[in-house]
Chain A
């Protein structure tokens, strides 16, 4: 498999995905305030570019893992909006029948193997998926998303050693927004670049602007082609910028931040749109439809979620153990 550069058709698909993520997250923020969605929710507003550029290049049989900020990754991997929304509302129609919630979203059908509430917790699990793929002689590739905070956790380093030793098809995608929860990276380590943390190991690595969809697409595409050819592991550090707080607060703050001039220059959606127009891939007038289609899909998802019943209590016990 060879990496292919982004073209107009793909760019439109990516934009559609990014709009879906952005509007979905905005709606979730509103629903959280209205208490339709309760509990801990972490929104990926502003970070849609990485999710879309990475996941759109993957197949359903490529397992993807994420951290607690997982909605965008799940959506980009193919999780249906309605079942995702229903999950956040705790309904039976949800991806996990209401049992998991925002931080424990799973969509096996599309290869979204799970989010996690424990920072770095999925990194060794993704390693296991990569090992399984190798053992089964497949060319599927395991991908795990995590933030820069996870890189200081022991499990990251344990995983890198083994992935390198065994040369597994694992792509580590770090969304480095310079913060872990409420703490800046400089308080966590004196190694500034995440990619330098794997410096002792023979791991192909790159650092890109995470809000430049074309750059992420290209870099990830190269690693993906290589991994399918049996090489690995890889580390792709995507420099991003997190709008708003660590977990969801006021959606109004997000709107404000999105509208700010300095953000408009960084916004992955706006940049890809500008790029596409400049490349002659599409005219500006096709773009509003992407946003409105996404908005409609999100509203449909909300309706679906609200109409879905709460799960029966018998489900709880039934889910504790797998049946013999």
Chain B
């Protein structure tokens, strides 16, 4: 059975269920647990749920320490860019301890952070910086695009024995979706095929998934059937599903809200160029944000980001019905 929930509430549901199930799960961060009647504090008490000062290095470092000591912390970071303050702990500590210790320890923790605040939140809050985390061995990165996946991926993230960067898209916060009741786990490394089609493969993540589906609708009216794939996790990345789709369609458009270089789009492009070359009937096209600090002004902000029009144009390009330009 299922029930309807907004995306953000689905995440809370997962955290709550996991904290009920396993009393080693902790939840802490800034601006929470400050009053007596907050649901997490009421349910799980002040040992496990705590507020911190503005101290990202200590917050994430403490999560590492608590994880080493056998707990499973979830750190509420609110915005991905705040992780940048503590990048040593995120990239150089959490993912490396297991290896460096020769497997003696594990570091099960979840760094929960919103991203993609493209609503005039301006240059320092609006980036899609998932690529910074993707290439780090030992670190997992998940990007749910639906309420159900938000729940299932958070549950899996908490149960995973590795550090996980859990990026939830700001613009999806209030998007409602059908969410399975009770325990619900979505495995990592398993892409979801959101729409089937035989003419072109479109891969998109986060908020871009709906933009891709919108583009697919418009293309269908022109007789073009697009297959839309949502990887759901960036590390591990399900390249297999993408390769199978490209084998069917021969054409690939990659949509990513991140800037072009070192984005998941460019990673997938590299994988497909290497392992799926013989399936390709046309060059791979990437639709990404332009390489700029996201501007504040509304029309400029919109202009630098991928949108439905750009996706449609990219499909037309890859089908040879539009000119190819660099």
The segment from B51-59, B192-200, B238-246 that touches chain A is B51-59
The answer to whether residues A90 and B297 also contact, given A181-B30, A182-B31, A316-B292 and a CB cut-off of 8 A, is: yes
* B17 at interface by CB-CB < 8 Å: no
Task: Report A-chain residues with C-beta under 8 Å of the C-beta of B54.
Answer: 119-120, 149-150, 152-153, 180, 188
A292 CB to closest chain B CB, in angstroms?
Answer: 31
Task: Report A-chain residues with C-beta under 8 Å of the C-beta of B303.
Answer: 313, 316
Partner of B123, one of A90, A94, A104, A155: A104
Q: Which residue of A lies closest to B55 (CB)?
A: A152
Task: Report A-chain residues with C-beta under 8 Å of the C-beta of B183.
Answer: none
Task: Report A-chain residues with C-beta under 8 Å of the C-beta of B34.
Answer: 182-184, 187
Q: Which residue of B lies closest to A246 (CB)?
A: B31
* A199 at interface by CB-CB < 8 Å: no
The answer to whether residues A183 and B122 also contact, given A98-B297, A101-B296 and a CB cut-off of 8 A, is: no
Bound CA–CA A146/B187 (angstroms): 43
The answer to whether residues A320 and B293 also contact, given A152-B55, A310-B299 and a CB cut-off of 8 A, is: yes
* A287 at interface by CB-CB < 8 Å: no
Task: Report B-chain residues with C-beta under 8 Å of the C-beta of A288.
Answer: none
Bound CA–CA A183/B31 (angstroms): 5
* B181 at interface by CB-CB < 8 Å: no
The answer to whether residues A90 and B292 also contact, given A39-B121, A104-B123, A153-B55 and a CB cut-off of 8 A, is: no
The answer to whether residues A154 and B57 also contact, given A39-B120, A100-B123, A103-B124 and a CB cut-off of 8 A, is: yes
* A311 at interface by CB-CB < 8 Å: yes
Task: Report A-chain residues with C-beta under 8 Å of the C-beta of B122.
Answer: 39-40, 100-104, 117
Question: Which B residues are within 8 Å of any A CB, using their own CB?
Answer: 30-31, 33-34, 51-58, 81-82, 85, 119-125, 290-293, 295-300, 303-304
B221 CB to closest chain A CB, in angstroms?
Answer: 29
Find out whether the CB atom of A320 lies under 8 angstroms from the CB atom of B31: no
Q: Which residue of B lies closest to A90 (CB)?
A: B297
Task: Report A-chain residues with C-beta under 8 Å of the C-beta of B31.
Answer: 180-183
Partner of B298, one of A38, A117, A184, A316: A38
Most buried by B among A39, A40, A97, A100: A39
Tell me the interface secondary structure of chain B in the complex: loop
Partner of B55, one of A91, A154, A182, A317: A154
Tell me the interface secondary structure of chain A in the complex: loop
Find out whether the CB atom of B295 lies under 8 angstroms from the CB atom of A183: no
Question: Which A residues are within 8 Å of any B CB, using their own CB?
Answer: 38-40, 87, 90-91, 94, 96-104, 116-120, 149-150, 152-155, 180-184, 187-189, 310-311, 313, 315-317, 319-320
A90 CB to closest chain B CB, in angstroms?
Answer: 3
Task: Report A-chain residues with C-beta under 8 Å of the C-beta of B292.
Answer: 316-317, 319-320
Task: Report B-chain residues with C-beta under 8 Å of the C-beta of A101.
Answer: 120, 122-123, 296-297
Find out whether the CB atom of A310 lies under 8 angstroms from the CB atom of B300: yes
The answer to whether residues A39 and B300 also contact, given A118-B82, A187-B34 and a CB cut-off of 8 A, is: no
Bound CA–CA A153/B30 (angstroms): 12
Task: Report A-chain residues with C-beta under 8 Å of the C-beta of B291.
Answer: 317, 320
Q: Which residue of A lies closest to B84 (CB)?
A: A118
User: Can you name 18 extra interface pairs (CB under 8 A) apart from A154-B58, A320-B292?
Assistant: A38-B120, A38-B298, A39-B120, A98-B295, A99-B293, A100-B122, A100-B296, A118-B82, A118-B124, A154-B55, A155-B85, A187-B33, A188-B51, A189-B53, A313-B299, A313-B300, A316-B292, A316-B303
